Copies of this chain bind each other. A is one copy, B any other.
Amino acid sequence: MSNDNCQKVDVSRRKLLAGGAAAATAMMLGSEASASQINNAISWDKTFDVLVIGSGFAALSAAIEARRKGLDVMIVEKMRVPGGNSTINGGLFAVAGSELQKEEGVEDSVELMVQDMMAAGRGINHPELTRAIAAGSPDAFKFVVECGAKFKPKLSWLGGHSVARTYLTHNASGSGIVRPLVKTARREGVVIRTECKMLNFITNDDKRIIGIQVKDGYRFPDEETGIVKHFKARRGVVLASGGFSRDTKFLSAQDPRLGGVIDSTNQPGATGEALRAAFRIGAVPVQLSLIQLGPWASPDEQGFGVASMFNIQSGFRYGIMVERATGKRFVNELADRKTRADAMIKNVKESGEPDYPIILVDSVGAKACPTLDRCLEYKVVHAFDRLEDLASHYQIPAEGLIESVTAYNEYVKNNDDLELGKPVSTATPIIKPPFYAVRGWPKVHHCMGGVEINPSAQVLHSETFEPIAGLYAAGEVTGGPHGASRLGSCAITDGLVMGRIAGNSVARNDAI
């Protein structure tokens, strides 16, 4: 192959811009162009040690960790404010072997959390990633507390978990972690550049990622806005851009049912273009068709809303879910998300329209919901003095509903759900009015798939299955740790733990 030195500068400049230049490199064995020569060829608008794409749990953790190694770090976020989907996350954070578990007398271990995550994941998790996440959870919890995050003083026991191991942020929202992390990052010198959209990765002849091409001054979702710029990353790039729950076409490609009729809990910016760009420079696509529907959402509000927390904290644990048409329970209300969502979406009317199931709880169970006031204010959850009124409001056969409640109360009394096997040891009977109820319907919530990484958060290449030099990834943009279904409250753990690992890995990389 020709290696005409007089033409090197422009060759390099252009090839650097190629999304898949890494693929070309293997074919250019005759080339003598070195990385440093190529670096000199492109006109970089900015240079940092580390560039982080995205600004949620994983991105912020990676940025802070890398910054604490003395590196110059910039976060690139396409939306107007940092935080991404993490800001509207429910704030539930699973930790294996926490201080609060010791206080509450809960026995837990990394092994048990891995088992729970693998069971929910139907055994097709990448086990080394699952383990890394569970193992890193106590330290990640300390990390965010030291950054200023505050948590409620009682653990939650969520569906699919063998024990109570889930913290809840003081404001019942992921923003309770995002805000302290943003503050910490800024205070410690991380640059956060918003309205800056990632377009493509830039590689050198050694197949190493050396920077990114962006649209700076971009105003979502107006694709006509922004100016193309090139940012250099001396140590590497951390891809932490989240999932593709709002990426309608890509979502439809994986599951045509999800292209419109089923809403998403995610923020509008979860559009997946950085993930797709990663495939074009060789990232291995993993388990993309495994898309989680959140079973606790309501069709009567947009996105995650307020009812989701009601169902998670009160409805499913202390109440029951029944078919509208019969008043009968039809699934263990604490089964994992996939089991519940699959059962719920089978409830369709003869017309083919959804027949939304109803989740109900009494006033004792409702106390566990930290957002009950808002649920009522927004008229998503309704209160009823009598079960008959509740049945009438939702057009449930009253007899069927009362039969279900009576049977369930008996199961609670005997600590044995003979019907559906729900663990009811901490449940309370549905007795004391007012009764609270909400219509439920699953929403696209989490993308289990993404790019393949190893436990050091290095992204693997589809030609060699070896790490792509200079590229790291963490959080929802990666695939594998959660298998077929992510267990509730493990997204924060994933983002924080793997983000911190990515930040430390990129800091260990040689500078170019």
Contacts and interface: CB of A to CB of B under 8 A. Distances in A.
Contacts of A418: none
Interface in A1-38: 2, 4, 7, 9-11, 13-15, 17-24, 27-28
Contacts of A28: 14, 17
A263 interface: no
A18 B23 contact: yes
Contacts of A474: none
A282 B284 contact: no
14 contacts: A4-B10, A7-B7, A7-B10, A7-B11, A17-B24, A18-B18, A18-B20, A20-B22, A253-B287, A253-B452, A280-B281, A280-B282, A288-B288, A289-B449
Contact of A21 (B9, B24, B277, B463): B24
A276 B449 CA distance: 17
Contact of A20 (B7, B21, B213, B288): B21
A249 B200 CA distance: 26
Contacts of A14: 11, 14-15, 24, 28
- Among A18, A22, A449: residue with most chain B CB under 10 A: A18
Contacts of A286: 253-254, 288-289
A273 B287 CA distance: 18
A257 B124 contact: yes
A285 B282 contact: no
Contacts of A200: 23-24, 27
B276 A463 contact: yes
A284 B250 contact: yes
Contacts of A257: 123-124
Given A19-B23, A23-B200, A286-B289, 9 more contacts: A7-B9, A20-B20, A20-B22, A20-B24, A23-B277, A276-B462, A277-B463, A280-B281, A289-B290
A270 interface: no
Contacts of A282: 19, 280
The 9 closest A-B pairs by CB, nearest first: A20-B20, A19-B23, A18-B24, A19-B20, A285-B285, A7-B10, A276-B462, A18-B18, A287-B289
Contact of A127 (B4, B7, B256): B256
Contacts of A256: 124-127
A24 B449 CA distance: 26
Contacts of A19: 20, 22-24, 282
Interface in A107-130: 123-127
A480 interface: yes
A378 interface: no
A427 to B, nearest CB: 30
A99 interface: no
A228 interface: yes
A9 to B, nearest CB: 8
Interface string A231-264: 0000000000000000001100111110000000
A48 interface: no
Interface in A322-345: none
Nearest to A284: B253
